[in-house]
Chains A and B, each alone.
Chain A
Amino acid sequence: MPDVHALVNDFLIKLKRRKIEGSKATAKVTAEVLRSFISQQRLPNTNQAGALIDAVKAVGEQLIAANPVELAVGNVVRRVLHIIREEDLSLTAAAIGGLSLSAGSDDEDDVGHDEHPALSAAAVAAAARSTLRPPSLQTLLEDVPHTAAVPHTSSSGGDSEGKSKSADKNSSTKRLKHNVIEAVNELIQDIVTCHEQIAEQAVEHIHQNEVILTLGSSRTVVEFLCAAKEKKRSFRVFVAEGAPRYQGHTLAKELVTRGLQTTVITDSAVFAMISRVNMVIVGAHAVMANGGVIAPVGLNMVALAAQRHAVPFVVLAGIHKLCPLYPHNPEVLLNELRSPSELLDFGEFSDCLDFGSGSGSPILHVVNPAFDYVPPNLVSLFITDTGGHNPSYMYRLIADYYSANDLVLQRRSAS
């Protein structure tokens, strides 16, 4: 195990210097760093969850401050905090349950758990959630399948392992930590497999002989389109090249190698082509709590064109892209201005940047924002790991994944 401090520092530096790109990669690394951080964290005997939350918050603050524009970092930190709270809750619930069943055993003892071998932490957590908090729409709708399904699919193996260990040591320190790490592993797994989960739904959305338009490059979009192709759907894809980084070119290349009928167009031709398009499918950088999307630059224009021609505008977003914050002035504050050299050749324009003559103030200014903000009213549908959702439903979805207590994380770090 490498020194966790060095690990965190290394990651911090990478974030600061913008050496990690893409929300998925960032999310995955963040989760991994937090996992090793938690595993190395020494916990006191009392109020373990509180101590763990504080520690994770402290690290999380640093990570978020390192690159405030990359929202995936904050999302994962909050997810992990939420996981800790959930696990703590489930442990307490289990302890209460154990207490009620075998009145003789004390808090530290784990007899209660032995008597409920079928009930995993997550299941208890779900139960506890439904009792201790106002039930979310999700849990209300999926109450029965949720409690039944979760223990079998995800954490039953880990839980039995944890149970045997905890039975040996008889300490809930290990239990809490272990459960949290298991849950974080699950989170990492979710992040890794989010493409597949989203791609599975492709057939429901893409129909025969349709024309799909996309802009820039997104791995999720590639997988989504290819999944539909594999299901023997035949359709055409228009790829807007996505100036100035022209990632659309690489996307087109990839689609062609997978045998998809592809047309490359310039970004400025989007409006002209949109009337022939059946659906716009794009990736996102982040999805805000109001259903607005931080997306690669140019997408706001595409969304407006789509709205004008009543073409559905579908955004694919892995669950790690859901951000529990409401955007404030996102065009500026949540944007990243990249180097002008992506647009212009510095040498060619060096004579326009001669500050020695004239007023000394620059006359030529090149703006190269990385992102666009697409307001929620322009988005028709979000497709996440868990299915399709309306923009107005996003805040509920977010309430399931994040704890309201953690939202202030960033505000504190900023002050």
Chain B
Amino acid sequence: MVAKKSGRNRGGGGGGTAAATEVSVEELARVPLQAILLADSFATKFRPITLERPKVLLPLVNVPMIDYTLAWLESAGVEEVFVFCCAHAKQVAEHLENSQWFAQPNFSVTAIESNNAVGAGDALRLIYEQNVIRGDFVLVSGDTVSNMSLAEALGEHKERRRKDSNAIMTMVITQSKTSPTTRQSRLGTDELFMAIDPDTKQLLYYEDKSDKGTVSLDKTLLSDHPSIYLHNDKQDCYIDICSPEVLSTFADNFDYQHLRRHFLKGLLDDDIMGYKIFTHEIQSNYAARIDNFRSYDTVSKDIIQRWTYPLVPDVQFVGNSSAKLDRQGMYRASVVGQSRSAQVGPFTVIGSGTTIGSQSQISNSVVGEGCKIGANVSIEGCYIWHNVTIEDGCQLKHAIVCDGVVIKSGVILEPGVVLSYKVVVGQQFIVPAYSKVSLYQQPIKQDSDEELEYADSSSGFMDASSLSGLPDKLKEESTIQLSESQLQAASEVGSGGVGFIWSTSEGSHEEEWRHSVAPIPAAKLLEIMHTSNNELEVVQQDGNLPPSGELERDSVTANSNDYDDDDVDVKDDYEVFENEVEATFKRALEENIKEDDVILEVNSLRLSYNLATADCSGALFYSMMKSALSAPHPSPSDLVKNAATVITKWKKLLKYYLPSIDEEIEVILKFEEMCLESAKEYSTVFVQILHLLYDKDIIQEEAILNWASEKEGADETDKLFVKQAEKFIQWLNEASEEED
């Protein structure tokens, strides 16, 4: 019976070759396939909603998330599932009891409750102690949506195990291109780097938090493996096929909590045990994990777009509520009261018993069961759960509205708003973007250190359990307290409103848009694009520099240069070179590098940018003057003094680049240019500095005279400095005559 069942499943799923089915059928006959489902993500990304209900029970397109996972496991041929519940364990267990899952033939679901687990590691250690896992098992989180067939991955895993008993885990990955602008995947997770051996599919490196934008691989990897592929277009599905050794590894390492951050990296770094991890890439099947509000939005849309078939709203894969699919991805339950003038747009799901008033517009949204939507309401890209009342004239954009919320007339929800359970928003109130509103007050302890996330979530969990897991008496008390606090909070969400607006700490507010249901605003995207472009430039420039004169002149034109690639080439080359030289010089100043070394470095720069010596002298002089300028100079005379010291110190260096009159003239021209544009402070002391240069034998009189005669024919504006230097030039002329 077992074999028959799984075989049919695969046929139905459309995936999996006949041969693979055969293999897995044999395997299944020996040991029933088991799965561990973690019904707690040990994270706080879904706060404040998860204060009242566990994440796995949140409705995803009107069906609790955990049902997607269970339905998939069931259809993939898993026979025994251990559901590990921690936060709100009672609610999860209750849901499982009321659902059909306990009544399934050939599919047993066992709930394991615990109150003191603070991470996945604790959960797995507890399960290890219970000694229920007998063979290979599937480890998933309760927020996974997938329709993949496990047969192939399982077959590969078993095959590898037979050859090498150290191959203890197979990770399921899928291709997913990260957005080039935001460097985050469509699911809102950070860019993920994985190094995989293309022949054996062994995972060699895993990095999902590369803040620096750099990836460093151990060179032994390269010596051990003939070839390595480094991917950044893969997505971790968080579906792992594990051997029992995984559990014992957790038991041995009591400090492992996070599956990826601790366990996976631990295994990759540590080669004492020699355990290996492999990957299995799925091609066309769907698998994703809901990690934050962004992925909630994305996965919901994927479901509506039917990528998860047969886990779609019009197929009753769970329960009895089914919707009918109309053209353009409109799913309507059988009993919906919709006004004739209401417009329900494409890609929308309407739950049963919902009424929609006249002239209302709904598009790209999910509306749950028993909602009352008034007239002239506009809803766009929202997730409205069950029994929500929305009065006339409201405008909702990209918001999540939980069960039992009442939105009074004329309310406007700006993008990214989350309204937790039973919140009431008062009339005409405008809920600001990305705000989260809950009946519960924000926990004061805001320890958002990433490294300590699990510890943090443990404290969060304690909060949650104290709210949900309390005996009834205490609960009542807390509700009384709640109603008192509700009164206090009334003003926060408009008149007659109930709920607290959670404040986001300054640091995280920046990141709020990343993980919200709302699409990233265009302005933000532009900003990111800008910064990422600049970042790129900075990397090229090798250091954090103040931009050179050309760039500083006008930031707008500089930007347009950035975007306009064709026009940048020649001009920018010199600018970049100038910056490089300046940086080199600065470093020389700071680190007291010898002149010879500086010369060497500048020469190599000159060669790499293919420029003349005249450019070097100009750039070097420019950077010297810049450094003089950067030193404090209360009066022009101090400035001259500064310049004098710098010039005296680096005379030899500058002299090296002034082999002929032409270069010297170039320096004067450069100086003139500086005085006009980037360093106007010098314009008053132009003559003094010129004199200084002459005195220090950097510039010969011939050069100055040539410069003066060159400028003779120029415009009046260009002659500004020549005129200033008139006396000096005259004196020089006289001196030379005398000599003659």
Contacts and interface: CB of A to CB of B under 8 A. Distances in A.
Nearest to A353: B186
B331 to A, nearest CB: 11
A25 to B, nearest CB: 10
A414 B364 CA distance: 26
B284 A356 contact: no
B175 interface: yes
Interface string B162-182: 000000000000111101011
A270 to B, nearest CB: 24
Given A332-B326, A361-B364, A346 B179 contact: no
Nearest to B318: A16
B301 A341 contact: no
A41 B53 CA distance: 44
B217 to A, nearest CB: 24
Contacts of B175: 345-348, 350
In order of increasing CB-CB distance, the 3 nearest A-B pairs are A347-B175, A339-B309, A360-B519
Interface stretch (B5-13, B205-213, B560-568, B726-734): B5-13
Contacts of A338: 306, 309
Q: Is the interface of A mostly helix, strand, loop or mixed?
A: loop
Contact of A19 (B9, B181, B186, B326): B9
Contact of B297 (A10, A14, A360, A414): A360
A345 B283 contact: yes
A342 interface: yes
B317 A16 contact: yes
B315 interface: yes
Contacts of B322: 65
B617 interface: no
Contact of B347 (A354, A358, A361): A361
5 contacts: A20-B8, A356-B184, A357-B179, A360-B381, A361-B381
B286 A19 contact: no
Given A17-B71, A337-B306, A357-B179, A347 B317 contact: no
A353 B297 CA distance: 12
A340 interface: yes
Interface in A231-250: 245
Given A347-B175, A350-B235, 10 more contacts: A16-B315, A20-B12, A21-B12, A345-B284, A350-B175, A350-B176, A354-B179, A355-B519, A358-B519, A360-B381
A131 to B, nearest CB: 42
Interface string A273-301: 00000000000000000000000000000
Interface in B318-349: 322, 324-329, 334, 347
Contact of B11 (A21, A360, A368): A21
A18 to B, nearest CB: 5
Contacts of B104: 13
B520 interface: yes
B627 to A, nearest CB: 43
Given A351-B179, A360-B381, A365 B329 contact: yes
Interface residues of A, number: 44
Given A6-B105, A351-B179, A361-B347, A356 B310 contact: no
A355 B297 contact: yes
Given A17-B315, A341-B285, A356-B294, A10 B519 contact: no
Contact of B75 (A19, A344, A355): A19
A106 to B, nearest CB: 47
A333 interface: yes
B606 interface: no
A45 interface: no
A124 to B, nearest CB: 41
Contact of B301 (A245, A332, A350, A362): A362
Nearest to B415: A360
A66 interface: yes
Nearest to B518: A360
B595 interface: no
B55 interface: no
Nearest to A343: B284
Nearest to B381: A360
B315 A350 contact: no
A189 to B, nearest CB: 23
Contacts of B520: 356-357
A246 to B, nearest CB: 12
A353 B315 contact: no
B179 A337 contact: no
A362 B328 CA distance: 11
B525 interface: yes
B329 A350 contact: no
A342 B147 CA distance: 13
A366 interface: yes
A350 B607 CA distance: 44
Interface string B1-43: 0000000110110100000000000000000000000000000
A9 B106 CA distance: 13
A405 interface: no
Contacts of A17: 12, 71, 75, 310, 315, 317
A414 B333 CA distance: 11
Contacts of B285: 341, 346
A356 B181 CA distance: 11
Contacts of A344: 284
B398 interface: yes
A404 to B, nearest CB: 25
B519 A66 contact: no
Contacts of B297: 355, 360
A359 interface: yes
Interface in A311-358: 332-333, 337-342, 344-348, 350-351, 353-358
